Amino acid sequence: MRRTVLHEVHRTLGARLVPFAGFEMPLVYTGIREEHQAVREAAGLFDLGHMGRLVLRGRDRIQLLDWVATNRYQGLEPGHAHYALLCQPDGGVIDDIIAYVLPEECLVVVNAANHQTVLAWIEQQRMARGLQAELLDRSEQLAMLALQGPRALAILGGLTGLDLAAIPYYGIAEGELAGVRMLLARTGYTGEDGFELYLPAEHAVRIWQVLLEQGRPCGLLPCGLGARDTLRLEAAMPLYGHELSRQINPYEAGLGFAVRLDKEAFVGREALARIKEQGPRRRLACITCEGRRIPRQDHPVLAGGRRVGTVTSGTFSPTLERPICMALLEPACAVPGTEVAIEVRGQLLPGRVGKRPFYKRERTP
Amino acid sequence: MSEVPAGLHYTASHEWARPEGEQVVVGITAFAVESLQDLVFIELPKLGDEVRRGERFGEIESVKAVSDLYSPVDGSVVAVNEALANDLDRLSRDPYGEGWLIRIAPRTSLPEALAGLLDAAAYRRLIEQEEHGGG
């Protein structure tokens, strides 16, 4: 089992550590609900050391990204990022990524479970296209932390001379924070404002402590994967292995915004164009349920006494105080207002398809 | 280390049993509550239901997972802690007190019903192993 550089810190904080994608990661420190609320109302600090951090260098790095990923990176100014899918030729999803364009290189953040697959896939594609680029795995050298929540900007702002407010959503800047040079990206996986920090691994423990200390008076809590999951689910953000897989295409997952069919050829383009034209055979829907039971992955979804789909992930929403889930449904049923029932261990849980997402923060101007 | 009160009887599946008169009060241990975290739902049997040692009598669900509840003794259910349905915090707060689950009238004599369950020391060893071995 692999450990992040913050492993001892998590133990000292009394975290419950669980295996996740080959890493021993904190599931919860004090309570999932408490940590969830901290992110919604104040701030939460996450160790994301399990994610893969890849660096792409060389003359053709943007061309390579544009070939393997569905979004368009050509023309994106350094200091900005796009969310994208890596697709197979048939449109099935290999991984979802965030790629940040920096002045000299690109930083590509991939899911822990797909880390090695993606490394191999991109390298294979680079060779096949004869592109001049180099893909480096920087996961050991670069620590990754996330500071998320409405107070994130104020907490970080007190520690850096960088004008953080000037970094747009999906922007990234290099600067010094508490004496350490790092990358600060305005991205996250919680539905709140916040930042993801990429810094030399040897400084991670100290920066974690500095952020905790600076944030505690504002209500910041260290947060584990449990809260990360409830937060992303309320924000209806996909999780690979649930809403995304090689058997699910981006249109089914409602991620058409990240597919740029109007750019030059890329892996999966023909298949995706066809799927878009014909319309996907199923669509991801957000369902809010009655009662207290939690719909979970693979539970059947019924409508009018007939099976119409399958739950991809579910939880008990701390914000709505209701069970919620995402499910892949027949397109006709994936419409807000549709009454459904979810079969949870032999019992039917009534639910209703609603708008996506379940939770949306009020954006500050 | 989670609280393991002396004088109670325990199962390896983290239930406790406390004799009261001729009956047995059943709950889940502080260790179980701490492992589950963030409880959202509990399903308990009905009055008069028969339960058997080692067999499922209900389930408890947390944000992360669902777990079955196993009866420590054979018998019939004579009381159910109905208050838990709307307030699982009682269970998180006080698993050995107001968080009790059910009361069972054992099918056999009390000593027979409780024979073979773990005492506090044995249960404490078990959870120490789970904490260290189970990671």
A235/chain B closest Cα distance in angstroms: 17
Q: In what order do the strands lie in the sheet with A44-47?
A: A172-177, A180-185, A194-200, A142-148, A44-47, A221-222
- Which residues form the domain of B94? 9-112
Task: Please check whether residue B125 lies inside any domain of the structure.
Answer: no
Q: Write out chain A residues lying below 8 Å of B40, CB-based.
A: 292-294, 316, 323
Question: Quick one: pLDDT at residue B131?
Answer: 77
B109/chain A closest Cα distance in angstroms: 35
Proportion of chain B above pLDDT 90, given as a percent: 86
| Separation of alpha carbons A73 and A50, rounded Å | 25
Minimum Cα–Cα distance from B88: chain A residue: A292
- Higher pLDDT: B132 or B49? It is B49
**Domain of residue B24, CATH code:** 2.40.50.100
The arithmetic mean of pLDDT across residues A315-341, rounded, is 97
State whether B38 and A33 contact (CB < 8 Å).
yes
Q: How many CB pairs under 8 A join A and B?
A: 44
Task: Please check whether residue B107 lies inside any domain of the structure.
Answer: yes
Q: In what order do the strands lie in the sheet with A93-101?
A: A80-87, A93-101, A106-110, A52-57, A134-137
Provide the sign of the torsion angle of the four alpha carbons A194, A198, A201, A203, taken in this order. negative
| Separation of alpha carbons A132 and A127, rounded Å | 9
The arithmetic mean of pLDDT across residues A161-179, rounded, is 97
The arithmetic mean of pLDDT across residues A228-255, rounded, is 98
Q: Write out chain B residues lying below 8 Å of A27, CB-based.
A: 37, 64
pLDDT beyond 70 at A122? yes
Closest CA to A221 of A9, A50, A18, A42: A42
A315/chain B closest Cα distance in angstroms: 6
Question: Quick one: pLDDT at residue B135?
Answer: 40
A36/chain B closest Cα distance in angstroms: 11
State whether A226 and B63 contact (CB < 8 Å).
yes
Contact A184/A172 with Cβ under 8 angstroms? yes
Proportion of chain A above pLDDT 90, given as a percent: 98
Task: Please check whether residue B132 lies inside any domain of the structure.
Answer: no
Q: Does B93 touch chain A (CB under 8 A)?
A: no
List the beta bridge partners of residue B43: B59
User: What does the mean pLDDT of chain A come to?
Assistant: 97
State whether A294 and B135 contact (CB < 8 Å).
no
The predicted-structure confidence for A180-217, as pLDDT tens digits, reads as follows: 999 999 999 999 999 999 999 999 999 999 999 999 99
| Separation of alpha carbons A162 and B109, rounded Å | 74
Question: Quick one: pLDDT at residue A365?
Answer: 45
| Separation of alpha carbons A194 and A164, rounded Å | 10
| Separation of alpha carbons A43 and A35, rounded Å | 9
Task: Please check whether residue B126 lies inside any domain of the structure.
Answer: no
State whether B63 and A315 contact (CB < 8 Å).
yes
Closest CA to B18 of B100, B98, B94: B100
Q: Is A30 helix (H, G, I), strand (E, B) or coil?
A: coil
Domains and CATH numbers, chain A: 7-49+140-234 (3.30.1360.120), 50-135+249-280 (3.30.70.1400), 282-354 (2.40.30.110)
Residues whose CB falls within 8 Å of the CB of residue A53, separated by 6 or more in sequence, listed in order: A107, A108, A109, A137, A138, A139, A142, A144, A198
Task: Please check whether residue B34 lies inside any domain of the structure.
Answer: yes
Among B34, B35, B37, the residue to mutate for chain A (most A Cβ within 10 A): B37
Please enumerate residues of A whose Cβ is less than 8 A from a Cβ of B: 1, 16-19, 24, 27-28, 31-33, 226, 230, 291-294, 296, 315-316, 323, 345
Task: Please check whether residue B121 lies inside any domain of the structure.
Answer: no
Q: Where are the beta strands (DSSP E) in chain B?
A: 9-10, 15-20, 23-28, 39-43, 50-51, 56-62, 66-70, 75-80, 102-106
Q: Is A43 helix (H, G, I), strand (E, B) or coil?
A: coil
The predicted-structure confidence for A8-67, as pLDDT tens digits, reads as follows: 999 999 999 999 999 999 999 999 999 999 999 999 999 999 999 999 999 999 999 999
The arithmetic mean of pLDDT across residues A261-273, rounded, is 97
| Separation of alpha carbons A92 and A85, rounded Å | 9
Q: Write out chain B residues lying below 8 Å of A316, CB-based.
A: 38, 40, 63
Q: Does B21 touch chain A (CB under 8 A)?
A: no
User: In chain B, how many H helices and how many E strands?
Assistant: 4, 9
Closest CA to A258 of A89, A91, A65, A85: A85
| Separation of alpha carbons A114 and A144, rounded Å | 17
Question: Quick one: pLDDT at residue A363?
Answer: 72
Q: Does B1 touch chain A (CB under 8 A)?
A: no
Contact B75/B107 with Cβ under 8 angstroms? yes
Minimum Cα–Cα distance from A314: chain B residue: B63
What is the band of B64 on the pLDDT scale with cuts at 50, 70, 90?
A: confident
Task: Please check whether residue B27 lies inside any domain of the structure.
Answer: yes
Q: Is A97 helix (H, G, I), strand (E, B) or coil?
A: strand
DSSP string spanning A66-83? HHHBSS--TTPPTTEEEE
List the beta bridge partners of residue A327: A285, A311
The predicted-structure confidence for A61-94, as pLDDT tens digits, reads as follows: 999 999 999 999 999 999 999 999 999 999 999 9
Q: Does B135 touch chain A (CB under 8 A)?
A: yes
pLDDT beyond 90 at A362? no
| Separation of alpha carbons A218 and A46, rounded Å | 16
Q: Which letter does DSSP use for residue A168 in this model?
A: P
Question: Quick one: pLDDT at residue B134?
Answer: 47
For the ranges A61-70, A319-328, B29-38, the lowest mean pLDDT is seen at B29-38
Q: H-type helices in chain A, by residue range?
A: 7-12, 32-41, 61-68, 115-129, 152-157, 204-215, 225-234, 269-278
State whether B38 and A226 contact (CB < 8 Å).
yes
Question: Quick one: pLDDT at residue A364?
Answer: 59
Site of tokens 């905790």: A212
At residue B11, φ and ψ (nearest 5 deg) are -110, 160
Minimum Cα–Cα distance from B87: chain A residue: A292
For the ranges B51-55, B56-60, B85-89, the lowest mean pLDDT is seen at B85-89
pLDDT beyond 50 at A223? yes
Closest by Cβ to A292, choosing from B40, B64, B135: B40
Give residues 52 to 81 of B whose Cβ lies within 8 Å of A.
59, 61, 63-64, 66
Q: Is A249 helix (H, G, I), strand (E, B) or coil?
A: coil
Among A16, A229, A316, the residue to mutate for chain B (most B Cβ within 10 A): A316
Contact A230/B63 with Cβ under 8 angstroms? yes
Contact A177/A162 with Cβ under 8 angstroms? yes
| Separation of alpha carbons A333 and A331, rounded Å | 5
State whether B41 and A292 contact (CB < 8 Å).
yes
Instruction: Count up the domains in chain B and report the number.
Output: 1
What is the band of B1 on the pLDDT scale with cuts at 50, 70, 90?
A: confident
